[in-house]
Structure 1
Amino acid sequence: MKKLLSFALMLALLWACQQPKQEQVALQTEQKAVVYQVFTRLFGNTNTNNKTWATIEENGVGKFNDFTDKALIELKDLGVTHMWYTGVPHHAVINNYTAYGISNDDPDAVKGRAGSPYAVKDYYQVNPDLADDPDKRLDEFKALIERTHKHGMKVLIDIVPNHVARHYEGKNNPEGVLDFGATDDTSVEYAANNNFYYIPGETFKVPAAENNYQPLGGEKHPLSDGQFDENPAKWTGNGSRLAQPGFHDWYETVKINYGVRPDGTFDFPFLPEDYDQMDEKAHFDFWQDKQVPDSWIKFRDIALYWTKLGVDGFRFDMAEMVPVEFWSFMNSSIKNANPDAFLLAEVYNPSLYRDYIHKGKMDYLYDKVELYDTLKHIMQGHGLTDNLPAIQEGLKDIEHHMLHFLENHDEQRIASPEFVGDADKGMPAMVVSTCISTAPTMLYFGQEVGEPGAEDAGFGSNSRTSIFDYIGVPHHQRWMNNGAFDGGQLSDDEKALRDFYKRLLTFSTKSTALMGEYEEIHSFNRANTEGYGDKVFSFVRWSGDEKLIITSSFKPADAEAFSLKVPAEIIKKWGLKDGSYQLTDVLYGSNNTLKINNGVGSIKMSLQPLESFIYQLQ
């Protein structure tokens, strides 16, 4: 099996090496995408109470309707092309909606009071917390889809195929759609068409608490008794096979069975070896006469339901925990319904990247463990920019598919003391992250105004804006300005930071060079330029009608001064002759000069701490 996999990967790499010129021509006609991840229940919340473990009445909650025309206009003007509305599908919450036919959830099997958006309770409905009228919550979300489209942006939501809420209850299934587990044989650990894995003969036990943890902070609740009724017990979402999972397991969720036997072997058809070279239509056709596990069909139907409602794409949680063959089946079905669907996956294992792109038909994967982690170390002062060129070289064949970010709901806020404690230290990293490839850029709401995630909301620790509890987001609230969405309460520093993000992102969506060629000139300057250190990074980007020279300083103090060199091979590719050429910085408009002598370019650079220049050749 390993030999077959290696051969398939070899074919994929060979194919990729033969494609770049043709693919590059196609990319130059595209717009660089900017994804704005917004935690939907926090975005519009103007309540500044921020009490720990507070109720929805005490701390407030944002609604679909808080994304007003004005808000969406401002986000579009920020450079956003895709709105990822996080936390839309109905997940387990500790709030009483029994008047709307929704059962109460047990605090012993829910993290926080507002609940994790990754413990979905009903895939054919939306979170009632997000609606002004919970009885019309789906209509309110449909209206948000329409408003977002009206302002020229696409809509993404989460699908979490690896697991569902411990208390899944599909009360809104379309006619003929059975609930997860409805036909499962619960007397066995595994059956190919069971939706869940079982632990026969054992009942589920709530994890033993750590650090004096109590659900809801110890508040009395009729269902909070240290027990949860599940018999037989099911495997937990992260794969724990214990009837009593650990406190740090994903105990609020249960794992979905995709035809993977407990010993790791499979009960589903494999893709032929050459299908890593085939398009979505070939994959779609392949699966039409195949018998696949029931869970595959259920999640395909969920994705197609939301696609039909107007959702333009999905962010797939923990995609690498689900077999790549399922993704071929799922994604080719989505693309058959909407060829332009935007499919983004959370995959952290670099050895799986090419399989999930070429076989699984993902459009984009997180570039976390290579680019993000390296940039984080550089920002924190213990990493070197010398490590960046090898990352882009290693991903050269799939660079367009590796989405870049500096924050998301799983990561620490840049401004938090646990990260770097200063939002400005993210500025050079954001220039590099945005401009180094043709891949989409992702921004987490509040990042653009330096949100530090300092609030103690309840479940979990701060430094990450809480995804589990009702809370306000102070820096973001100052930009929101009680619904005016004009930044009226921001400090001067926060306004300047947001202005930087706006300048960078809006340029990125219009630049043809950023969808064109890339060469790093960092290594050449490290070897040949006096004063050019390991806290500076430089590269060039170009297309047929635009040429860029980009340099960023990651030093938080002390200016950098040197004569940046542009190697002869770049000058030759650009068709430039000896002489002087005007450069203009696209961020703030300053001018400089590229001088070419004997075929080698040079630019006198004076970089202030954390400063970047994106010089455009005039």
Structure 2
Amino acid sequence: MNTSNWVIQDPAPGTRIIMFRGDTRSFTLSLSNPQKGSAWLRTNIGQAETSRNEIVRAIKSDEPPLGRDWFDIPMNRVDDRNFLITLPLCEVGHFEAKCFFLNAGETIPVWPEGPNVVINVEPADTCCANIIYNAFVRQFGPNKRDNLINTAENNLIRDLDKNGYAVIPPSGTFRDLIKELDFIIGELGCRIIQLLPIHPTPTTYARMGRFGSPYAALSFTAVDPALAKFDPRATPLEQFIELVDAIHERQAKLFIDIAINHTGWAADLHETHPQWLVRDPDGQIKVPGAWGVVWADLTSLDYANKDLWQYMADVFLTWCRRGVDGFRCDAGYMIPVPAWQYILATVREQYPDTIFLLEGLGGKVSVTRDILNKANFNWAYSELFQNYDRNQIETYLPESNEISRSDGNMVHFAETHDNLRLAERSKIFARMRTALCALCSHQGGFGFANGVEWYATEKINVHEASSLNWGAKTNQVKHIRRLNTLLKVHPAFHDQTQPKMIQQGDGNHIALLRHHLPSGKKLLIVANLDDERKTLGAWDFQQTGMQGSVFVDLISEKKVTITESNGRQSCLLDPGRVLCLTTDSHDIDLVSQADSKDLLVPERIKRQCLRAKALDVLRFYNGTQDIGTFNPDQAAQQLAEDPVEYCRSLNPFSHEPRVITWQWPRDMRREVMAPPGHFLIIRVDTPFRARIIDKNQCLAHEESLPGLDGSFFALFYPLPSPRAHRSLMLKLPVYTPGKTQHVDGPLLFLSRAEDATVKQVYYRKDLSGHPLLFLGTNGHGAMLRAQASWGELASRYDALLAANMDTEIPEDRWIMFTRCRAWLVFQGYSQEICNDCFDSFGFEYNGSGCWRYQVPTGQGEHVLLSISVTMVSGENSLRMVFSRESTQDRNSRLADHEPIRLILRPDIENRSFHETTKAYQGPEHLWPAAVTSAPNGFTFTPDAEHKLYVQINEGSFVWEPEWQYMLHRPIEAERGLDPDSDLFSPGYFSVLLEGGRSVELTARITGPQEPDYTKPKSSIRE
């Protein structure tokens, strides 16, 4: 690579940045001296699908990644030394970029020194307020408030344990948790519910503790029935979906904890894939562990097996289809990075906004960085919760902040199920640590375990169901609500905020300056880490730029007196006191007004999501290139005002919007068609989610956006144009108050005009649920209308020959030849030609239809019979050719020299195609006399106006009249018309057919002015 220090790039080579979908990123290239030439940006930004496909194909097809996702994009010359480009960030993923200069007339680029710039793009709705409530469903049962098992019961249970009984008390359920969602999401203000594992756990064999560990999963895709109430109307999985819907209805997200490094003993995988277990040389199954602790109820999985990677990718997709928004990946650092790369690429191909949270506690920081960067995890567990004093936090927090800025958000959990309860030490300590973790977070990446809000003191034991102290009078509910409100509304807790530790002096305290760069807003977090003693919190005021002697604490809304001495500002802090200080009086109104209402989705998130969608539309028309003066914020406003008009304004090809509307509930039962290159907009009065599904694959997923008119919409990016029309399904959970309505709406995505084709051959599977109809014409108003199911009549308009008796203009068709039933007879065995032996149906553009049947003849053999039906051009006439195809040396077919007998029985009528035939009204007595039979056919003359001729070129006609009564036409029945009609058959044709031979049946209808019919020359070639 040709590098030079006279080519300078901004951002500097080697920079790693966290950004969000809906952002834009500028790159500049500066030359130390004016040069003739051009500047380019080499990048894979905008090529996420290609990147993911290469990762997936490398595992599934053993194809080496070839870097197909890298492209060169021209930069704009600003002056004789500087170049600029601004790209939209429209996709979630890991991207890299680097500028280069190309001297005029040369082909070797000159690069700035250093590695690529790395940009990790996160989902738009994670730019702030990523507040996690970690719920252990089991704990929402009888013990939620207090431990209800008394000493006598405990003694009884111990006696049963000694005698080998399995005693498992009642567990909390999904429905129990649903009852508390208004509190958790509405009152506390949490935006993410994260569940400990919900998989089936051991109940007898290898059960540890009273309940068994949820991390000892027996199935990765099943739901533990202990977490559901017995209800004949709803399975445990369906009750889990109730929880999903209830969380989404409140515009929050659901994460589940999943530990794919191991299973419980006797898990399903032990039976179906025993080769995936890690075993010692002596055959003993390996048991995992960490921190010197062995998890004896678990068994390790071997990720040297790449088919295990594919299995796990399907597991994650299964939960995504059920509505899960993200995953806490327990012990994720134990899984190889290439395995995670494959799993995430597979999941993000269908659900790109899925959040992956790494539980890497106990692993190396370098491994965490690799999983965040290379595997493209979104977040990781911070270890702030186990750093307590000033020295520990001063050592840990700067590196954590740097990772959050460059690799992935380090989420600060105040408490997890792995550590002791904060309130066990003191309520002051719990309150301080909760505030510390919240106020030190990036993009509001803050979490806590259920019970923290109630000062619960019993440690969460994953084998038990300890009390949550739920409803305790002394609590920090309002405190947590205020913290969460701060994270939602104040810009200093949003993206593009720079945190800096600036504490000075002695004492067990920290001071953290939060500076929101776009707005210039600042907050100062000062915390006394000692819950027993006061301390003087001090900081360098020149770094804060916050002047004055009185600040306001946004947590308590109280004024705080600040002293200044020797270039320092300071204030005395009570034990465990945490302050969020501002000098801006507007901040008080901003926070207090937001705290007075349940703010489900922050305005910052709404704006970012609208920006992302506005840039999607721009990218569809312009591709990934410099956006110039395009203003994403103005575009987001225009999109919210009128999405269709916004799309119209960006269409460079015409004045049309190229948007197809799906309106709820109007279009619930309508198949909506989407032409190529068109957006699909979904409009609903309430919040909703929408997916476009092809069988089990999600092609696109959208969450509704708020419009300025109070309604909600989702705008789907145009799907690639199919080569043939493509039927897909729109799945739509609509969140009406107190109820979720699941809607399935059929969609038809149309092919391009130049790709349009008509399917000409239909097989047996195509008939199932989709009745097919063949229509042939003579070019002069007559028609042949036959069901693909031979001999079936679905409507009074079905007929093999419906004539137009007027030679000048079309009039009501006259039906005389309705159908022709057929049988094959071999060695006395008769087989009807019907769907039982149907093979295929096809048509030719000359107007002929062809039915093919595999008809059994016994002894494991069959004959292949084809029926070709064509109307004669310009005549009220029909040709039907019955062919027995040659064996062509196929052992399963009856030998050609063995003749079979073909029986054809025509059913006739004499009526307008709008009417029906009723035998009792006269035809039963009149029609048999109107038939004149001949050796090769018959003539039917029911009146002076109509005559039907039916003849066969070989074989004979046998007079054997019969009536069929009350033949049901289901289409007329659906329309409330008379569905029943009668048919008359004067006899049948009989002919022997050897292999490779054909016979032709002809029919013609004539009027009074036409001469008698003479049989036309056969179309069969001898």
- TM-score tier after normalising by the smaller chain length: 0.5 to 0.7
Conserved in 2, the CA contact under 8 Å of 1:237 and 1:256?
A: no
Residue identity matched to 2:312: F
Residue identity matched to 2:272: A
Conserved in 1, the CA contact under 8 Å of 2:184 and 2:190?
A: no
Between the aligned partners of 2:16 and 2:507, the Cα distance in structure 1 is 30
Between the aligned partners of 1:612 and 1:342, the Cα distance in structure 2 is 30
What's the TM-score once normalised by structure 1's chain length?
0.66
The Cα shift of 1:615 comes to 1.2
- Of 535, 550, 554, the residue aligned with 2:525 is 550
Instruction: Calculate percent identity across the aligned residue pairs.
Output: 19
Aligned position for 1:615: 581
Between the aligned partners of 1:509 and 1:65, the Cα distance in structure 2 is 28
Tell me the alpha carbon deviations over residues 393-437 of structure 1, each in whole angstroms, 9 at most, x when there is no partner: 654644752111131111111133xxxx21321333333322223
Report the CA distance shift for 1:601/1:548 in structure 2 as closer, same or farther (over 3 A).
farther
The Cα shift of 1:511 comes to 2.2
The Cα shift of 1:501 comes to 1.9
Conserved in 2, the CA contact under 8 Å of 1:581 and 1:617?
A: no
Between the aligned partners of 1:182 and 1:329, the Cα distance in structure 2 is 22
Residue identity matched to 2:242: A
Between the aligned partners of 1:517 and 1:505, the Cα distance in structure 2 is 17
Map 1:255-266 → 2, pairs under 5 A: 255-259=300-304
Aligned position for 2:367: 352
**Are 1:606 and 2:572 counterparts?**
yes
Aligned position for 2:603: none
Instruction: Give ranges in structure 1 of 5+ residues lacking alignment.
Output: 1-12, 95-104, 170-178, 185-193, 203-231, 240-245, 261-292, 454-463, 480-489, 527-532
Aligned position for 1:138: 237
Aligned position for 1:510: 489
Aligned position for 2:552: 584
The Cα shift of 1:34 comes to 0.8
For the residue of structure 2 that corresponds to 1:45, the secondary structure is coil
**Are 1:339 and 2:352 counterparts?**
yes
**Are 1:250 and 2:229 counterparts?**
no
Aligned position for 1:364: 379
Between the aligned partners of 1:152 and 1:601, the Cα distance in structure 2 is 47
Conserved in 2, the CA contact under 8 Å of 1:78 and 1:506?
A: no
Residue identity matched to 1:130: L
The Cα shift of 1:555 comes to 2.6
Report the CA distance shift for 1:61/1:562 in structure 2 as closer, same or farther (over 3 A).
closer
Residue identity matched to 1:517: T
For the residue of structure 2 that corresponds to 1:120, the secondary structure is coil
Aligned position for 1:461: none
Report the CA distance shift for 1:18/1:413 in structure 2 as closer, same or farther (over 3 A).
closer
Tell me the alpha carbon deviations over residues 462-507 of structure 1, each in whole angstroms, 9 at most, x when there is no partner: xx322112x340513xx1xxxxxxxxxx23xx23x23222211222
Report the CA distance shift for 1:41/1:393 in structure 2 as closer, same or farther (over 3 A).
closer
- Of 304, 320, 324, the residue aligned with 2:333 is 320
Tell me the alpha carbon deviations over residues 221-268 of structure 1, each in whole angstroms, 9 at most, x when there is no partner: xxxxxxxxxxx64222349xxxxxx9x5222222111117xxxxxxxx
**Are 1:124 and 2:99 counterparts?**
no
**Are 1:115 and 2:212 counterparts?**
yes
For the residue of structure 2 that corresponds to 1:124, the secondary structure is coil
Conserved in 2, the CA contact under 8 Å of 1:344 and 1:362?
A: yes
Instruction: Give ranges in structure 2 of 5+ residues lacking alignment.
Output: 1-11, 26-118, 161-165, 585-1022
Map 1:195-594 → 2, pairs under 5 A: 195-199=276-280, 233-238=284-289, 249-259=294-304, 293-347=306-360, 348-368=363-383, 371-375=384-388, 377=389, 386-387=394-395, 390-392=398-400, 395=403, 397-398=405-406, 400-416=408-424, 421-438=425-442, 440-453=445-458, 464-469=459-464, 471-476=465-470, 479=471, 490-491=472-473, 494-495=474-475, 497-515=476-494, 516-523=496-503, 525-526=504-505, 533-543=506-516, 544-545=518-519, 546-561=521-536, 564-568=539-543, 570-571=544-545, 580=548, 583-592=551-560
Aligned position for 1:65: 175
Please provide the CA RMSD for this pair. Answer: 3.4
For the residue of structure 2 that corresponds to 1:443, the secondary structure is strand
Between the aligned partners of 1:28 and 1:340, the Cα distance in structure 2 is 9
Between the aligned partners of 1:318 and 1:616, the Cα distance in structure 2 is 40
Between the aligned partners of 2:181 and 2:257, the Cα distance in structure 1 is 21
Report the CA distance shift for 1:409/1:511 in structure 2 as closer, same or farther (over 3 A).
same
Conserved in 1, the CA contact under 8 Å of 2:194 and 2:256?
A: yes
Between the aligned partners of 1:24 and 1:331, the Cα distance in structure 2 is 14
- Count residues in correspondence: 454
Tell me the alpha carbon deviations over residues 174-193 of structure 1, each in whole angstroms, 9 at most, x when there is no partner: xxxxx555355xxxxxxxxx
Between the aligned partners of 1:116 and 1:612, the Cα distance in structure 2 is 36
- Of 183, 192, 195, the residue aligned with 1:85 is 195
Between the aligned partners of 1:235 and 1:449, the Cα distance in structure 2 is 40
Q: Which has the greater radius of gyration?
A: 2
Residue identity matched to 1:586: L
Conserved in 1, the CA contact under 8 Å of 2:532 and 2:575?
A: yes
For the residue of structure 2 that corresponds to 1:539, the secondary structure is strand
Map 1:152-191 → 2, pairs under 5 A: 152-169=251-268, 179=269, 182=272, 184=274
Tell me the alpha carbon deviations over residues 153-203 of structure 1, each in whole angstroms, 9 at most, x when there is no partner: 10111221111111012xxxxxxxxx555355xxxxxxxxx3123457x6x
Tell me the alpha carbon deviations over residues 273-330 of structure 1, each in whole angstroms, 9 at most, x when there is no partner: xxxxxxxxxxxxxxxxxxxx11111111010001001011111111111101111111
Report the CA distance shift for 1:330/1:79 in structure 2 as closer, same or farther (over 3 A).
same
Between the aligned partners of 2:456 and 2:179, the Cα distance in structure 1 is 23
For the residue of structure 2 that corresponds to 1:335, the secondary structure is helix
Aligned position for 1:42: 139
Residue identity matched to 1:153: A
For the residue of structure 2 that corresponds to 1:437, the secondary structure is coil
Aligned position for 2:127: 30
Report the CA distance shift for 1:17/1:156 in structure 2 as closer, same or farther (over 3 A).
closer
What's the TM-score once normalised by structure 2's chain length?
0.41
Conserved in 2, the CA contact under 8 Å of 1:400 and 1:438?
A: no
Conserved in 1, the CA contact under 8 Å of 2:17 and 2:407?
A: no
For the residue of structure 1 that corresponds to 2:185, the secondary structure is helix
Report the CA distance shift for 1:386/1:237 in structure 2 as closer, same or farther (over 3 A).
closer
Structure with bigger RCO (C-alpha 8 Å, 6+ apart): 1
Conserved in 2, the CA contact under 8 Å of 1:385 and 1:536?
A: no
Between the aligned partners of 1:233 and 1:595, the Cα distance in structure 2 is 67
For the residue of structure 1 that corresponds to 2:485, the secondary structure is helix
Between the aligned partners of 1:354 and 1:473, the Cα distance in structure 2 is 36
Conserved in 2, the CA contact under 8 Å of 1:414 and 1:422?
A: yes
Between the aligned partners of 2:289 and 2:501, the Cα distance in structure 1 is 43
Conserved in 2, the CA contact under 8 Å of 1:374 and 1:387?
A: no
Report the CA distance shift for 1:48/1:29 in structure 2 as closer, same or farther (over 3 A).
closer
Residue identity matched to 1:256: L
For the residue of structure 1 that corresponds to 2:142, the secondary structure is coil
Conserved in 2, the CA contact under 8 Å of 1:49 and 1:58?
A: no
Report the CA distance shift for 1:25/1:337 in structure 2 as closer, same or farther (over 3 A).
closer
Between the aligned partners of 1:443 and 1:18, the Cα distance in structure 2 is 27
Conserved in 1, the CA contact under 8 Å of 2:263 and 2:298?
A: yes
Structure with greater helix share of residues: 1
Conserved in 2, the CA contact under 8 Å of 1:304 and 1:334?
A: yes
Tell me the alpha carbon deviations over residues 65-106 of structure 1, each in whole angstroms, 9 at most, x when there is no partner: 1123554344332121110111312222x2xxxxxxxxxx31
